[in-house]
Amino acid sequence: MGTIVCQTCNSTIDYFEDEKVSVLYAKCGCSCDQNDKTEK
């Protein structure tokens, strides 16, 4: 079982079948990336 996680907000996007446990990072398309830039 694998998990796809948002690299910006660390929320779980999706799960996928795999032989080993793994975590892949992607962007979920939410506004968290824009909020992260304005907070810094």
CB 24 within 8 A of CB 18: no
| Confidence at residue 35, expressed as pLDDT on a 0 to 100 scale | 55
- pLDDT, tens digit (0-9, with 9 covering 90-100), for 1-40: 899 999 889 899 999 998 888 998 998 877 765 555 545 4
Q: Compute CA distances 37 → 7, 24, 27, 31, 33, whole Å.
A: 14, 22, 14, 10, 7
Q: Report pLDDT for 40.
A: 44
